[in-house]
Amino acid sequence: MSILTWTWILTGGSFALYIYIAYWARAKTTGDFYIAEKQIPPYFNGMATGADWMSAASFISMAGLISFLGRDGSYYLMGWTGGYVLLAMLFGPYLRKYGKFTIPQFVGDRYYSNTARVIALLCAIFVSFTYVAGQMRGVGVVFSRFMDVGINTGVIIGMALVFFYATLGGMKGITYTQVAQYTVLISAYLIPAIFISMQFTGNPIPQLGYGSAITAEGAALLNDPGTQGKYLLDVLNSLNTDLGFAAYTSGQRPMIDVFFITMSLMIGTAGLPHILIRFFTVPKIRDARASAGWALFFIALLYTTAPAIAVFARTNFIKSIDNVEYAQAPSWFKNWEKTKLVAWKDKNDDGIMQLRKGKWDDPKSANEVKIDQDIMVLANPEIAKLPNWTVGLIGAGGLAAALSTAAGLLLVISAAVSHDLMKGIVKPDMSEKEELWWARGGAGVAVVIAGLFGIYPPGFVAQVVAFAFGLAAASFFPAILMGIFSKKVNKEGAISGMIVGIVFTAAYIWWYKWGDPASNNADGWWMGISPEGIGTVGAMLNFAVTYVVSKFTPAPPEHIQDLVGHLRYPGKIVVAAPTGH
């Protein structure tokens, strides 16, 4: 069967499954809609968190990005996993003990202030929309590349599906759909990687394979008998240096910047509302801790495979393209040329493709080959000559990754509108039934807006991911951390801290992306810290301001200090003991 037929079968089958699950798990109460009545077992919650977390970008682009960045790409790998350690130990169990519905609600309650709640809900909506825009676009892109459907038609199909299960099922429907989506996306990611690892090194575990030696079969695939018995990474290092790139396993970016980016991504992860909200959905406090463990386990399965794919694909790509006559180019190269993800320009008119350092359309560079980062995952099975069904699986996996993340984000937006804005501030006396209508309506409107972002992508989408993480790091992370671990931090401190953190981070990113883009380089940055890493500094400022302001303003009322004390122990305890004052 052809690749196209396989893609339609696998995608259609997975969509039918998602719809069935959504119908089966439809929500009846607001508790169901927001937090699935706290009935999700921790391993399912972990799987759903994994699907929520791994977006179209993680699935399609990350391995390719890493293949260009070499060791520097590790800030994505560590930065997008290390936050779960913080979530498990600093946030998850305590937020579960708090037991309400949303993050803005927690911030508002802990800081006994509607102002704090409004700041938090604006941040939550901004961060979530930033993210979701990229997802809907991702859905369209996968449809157009694998199924010959226009990008816009693809976005509309995706919208219809998410609309159905997000408005019907709420958190419960989304969670069980995400469990199915995780299964699809991880199979799609691992199966080609396992095949390729076997081909190159004889080791079925890709995580070990890319640190192993190349077998005779692998050397034959690379058309280079000399590579047999050598470590794959050594072969790639010398390929890289021969073509004028830095050695793959060496770091190029300044250490301070890598440090700050990694930290910003980690604490940004721990401050993202669609991830935090997942800890509300499990039955017990210890389930919240275990959820983080399961989540990171399921995430790490993909995140440790990505660098292996990066190494296999890059080696394979260089070997099958560089110094090869265009007339002899492999069929996948010509297939993917149609999508403009790869291209060739014969600058020296010798009919041979030369892959070098530099831009392919820059006349001064000797490089003749354009490689889009996405090709490393999308075309990987074809490059390794795997069967057609594995290629079809990649399409279904990419859609699962994009749809699951979109759904989780839409729920945060809908809850922020219905629960925090309408029920919490505008109309506190409304009935549960009415609130549920607001929640469904909010999710519906958010789907439509997200779809419009997908069809008419605002030019800034690619640049605002730094924004989303930076803002989450500079606003939520310090506010929640100090809200749990300090009884003395008060509303004046938290509000001024959040405002300083947000304004500083936003201004820094704005300046280098739009204010003075010419100075957006290591020499122009403050202390050599890039806009991607500035969220760390924003968070430090937030901590400092909150601490100092709290010192000089009245301590929180007793019942708030009691609430904080109450968060720290599982069960219904916190015993009243008269202390004489």
Partner 1 sequence: MSIHATPELQAYWKENLFIIFYHLAIWFTVAYLCGIVFADQLDAYRIGGFPLGFWFANQGSLVIFVVLIWTYVWRLNALDKKYDVYET
Residues that bind partner 1 (CB under 8 A): 71, 74, 77-78, 81-82, 84-86, 88-90, 93, 207-208, 210-213, 231-234, 249-251, 255, 258-259, 262-263, 266, 284-286, 289-290, 292-293, 296-297, 300, 303-304, 307, 558, 561-562, 565, 568-571, 573-579, 581
Shortest distance in whole angstroms from residue 230 CB to partner 1: 9
In the complex with partner 1, the residue whose CB is nearer, 293 or 528, is: 293
Phi (first) and psi of residue 48, to 5 degrees:
-65, -40
Only one residue has tokens 């937090």, namely 35
Shortest distance in whole angstroms from residue 295 CB to partner 1: 9
Shortest distance in whole angstroms from residue 296 CB to partner 1: 5
Shortest distance in whole angstroms from residue 88 CB to partner 1: 5
**What tokens appear for 92 in the block?**
């998850």
Shortest distance in whole angstroms from residue 214 CB to partner 1: 10
Question: How far apart, in whole angstroms, are the C-alpha atoms of residue 128 and residue 100?
Answer: 20
In the complex with partner 1, the residue whose CB is nearer, 52 or 257, is: 257
Shortest distance in whole angstroms from residue 23 CB to partner 1: 33
Strands 324-325 and 369-371 turn out to be: unpaired
Shortest distance in whole angstroms from residue 263 CB to partner 1: 8
Shortest distance in whole angstroms from residue 554 CB to partner 1: 16
Shortest distance in whole angstroms from residue 533 CB to partner 1: 12
Torsion angle, CA of 453/456/459/460, rounded to 10 degrees? 0
Question: How far apart, in whole angstroms, are the C-alpha atoms of residue 346 and residue 298?
Answer: 44
Only one residue has tokens 């629960």, namely 419
**What tokens appear for 313 in the block?**
């694909």
Question: How far apart, in whole angstroms, are the C-alpha atoms of residue 76 and residue 555?
Answer: 39
Question: How far apart, in whole angstroms, are the C-alpha atoms of residue 24 and residue 461?
Answer: 35
In the complex with partner 1, the residue whose CB is nearer, 255 or 327, is: 255
Please give the DSSP secondary-structure letter assigned to residue 213.
B
Strands 342-344 and 369-371 turn out to be: antiparallel
**What tokens appear for 218 in the block?**
């692998």
Shortest distance in whole angstroms from residue 485 CB to partner 1: 8
Question: How far apart, in whole angstroms, are the C-alpha atoms of residue 171 and residue 26?
Answer: 9
In the complex with partner 1, the residue whose CB is nearer, 88 or 127, is: 88
- In DSSP terms, 231 is beta-bridged to 213
In the complex with partner 1, the residue whose CB is nearer, 342 or 482, is: 482
Amino acid at 114: N
**Residues 6+ positions from 310 with CB-CB distance below 8 Å:** 63, 64, 66, 67, 73, 376
Question: How far apart, in whole angstroms, are the C-alpha atoms of residue 288 and residue 293?
Answer: 9
Shortest distance in whole angstroms from residue 231 CB to partner 1: 3
In the complex with partner 1, the residue whose CB is nearer, 515 or 565, is: 565
Shortest distance in whole angstroms from residue 394 CB to partner 1: 23
In the complex with partner 1, the residue whose CB is nearer, 263 or 406, is: 263
Amino acid at 543: F
- In DSSP terms, 374 is beta-bridged to none
In the complex with partner 1, the residue whose CB is nearer, 6 or 91, is: 91
**What tokens appear for 330 in the block?**
């492999």
Question: How far apart, in whole angstroms, are the C-alpha atoms of residue 174 and residue 163?
Answer: 11
Phi (first) and psi of residue 101, to 5 degrees:
-100, -40
Residue among 339, 319, 341 at smallest CA distance from 330: 319
In the complex with partner 1, the residue whose CB is nearer, 179 or 481, is: 481
Shortest distance in whole angstroms from residue 169 CB to partner 1: 28
**What tokens appear for 171 in the block?**
């958190």
In the complex with partner 1, the residue whose CB is nearer, 2 or 249, is: 249
- How far from 112 is each of 97, 163, 352, 430, 499, CA to CA, in Å? 18, 35, 69, 21, 17
Question: How many other CB atoms are found less than 10 A from the CB of residue 341?
Answer: 18
In the complex with partner 1, the residue whose CB is nearer, 88 or 399, is: 88
**Residues 6+ positions from 159 with CB-CB distance below 8 Å:** 136, 447, 448, 450, 451, 454
Shortest distance in whole angstroms from residue 557 CB to partner 1: 11
**Residues 6+ positions from 26 with CB-CB distance below 8 Å:** 168, 169, 172, 173
In the complex with partner 1, the residue whose CB is nearer, 110 or 289, is: 289
**Computed from CA positions of residues 459, 532, 272, 421, in that sequence, does the dihedral angle turn out positive or negative?**
negative
In the complex with partner 1, the residue whose CB is nearer, 96 or 319, is: 96
In the complex with partner 1, the residue whose CB is nearer, 163 or 294, is: 294
